[in-house]
Amino acid sequence: MNGITILTVTKDADWLVGMRPALHAAGRGRLVVADSVQEADRLLEFAKPRFIVVDWENSRCPSEELAALLWKNSIQSRPALVMIVAHDYRVDEATQLFQLGVDEYISASDHGDALVTILKSHKPRNAGADQADRAHASVNEAANGRLGAFDPVGLLH
């Protein structure tokens, strides 16, 4: 899964650094960081992520904002997997988020070790996704050769 884009939603740099091993294991590629669900909504169609990973403790928002992001994601040619990472697992919250259309809801404290497995286990949602990822990776490799890798925080390399 090289050359994928992961869109993360967080305001916490420490959380992002803590997620580094899992994001790195999901595949080398581009990391796009939004500080709110609204910003992620605006970036979605341009970033074309494979995964959207939301730091729920620092990015809680009204359900309407999350629903808007989920709807916009669902109409993309290749919808991203949407994962909510909460500090502690709450059944009521998980139920509400799954009803909205979230793909995964995990607890960092309970499921932290499983994050890599969860990210790696998800296959592309349509047949053309792998081909699009390979093309995206080729473009990234060519650009990286000329301009150097764009990874401002150094999380994926």
pLDDT tens for residues 53-100? Answer: 999 988 788 888 999 999 999 999 989 999 999 988 889 999 999 999
Does a structural domain hold residue 128?
A: yes
Q: How far apart are CA 85 and CA 107, in angstroms?
A: 6
Distance of CA 113 to the CA centre of its chain: 17
Q: How far apart are CA 96 and CA 83, in angstroms?
A: 14
Q: How far apart are CA 15 and CA 116, in angstroms?
A: 15
What's 71's domain CATH number? 3.40.50.2300
Q: What is the pLDDT of residues 6-48, one digit of tens each?
A: 899 999 999 888 887 777 776 667 889 999 999 999 999 899 9
Does a structural domain hold residue 33?
A: yes
Does a structural domain hold residue 155?
A: no
Model-wide pTM > 0.85:
no
Does a structural domain hold residue 113?
A: yes
Does a structural domain hold residue 127?
A: yes
Which range marks the domain in which residue 106 is found? 4-147
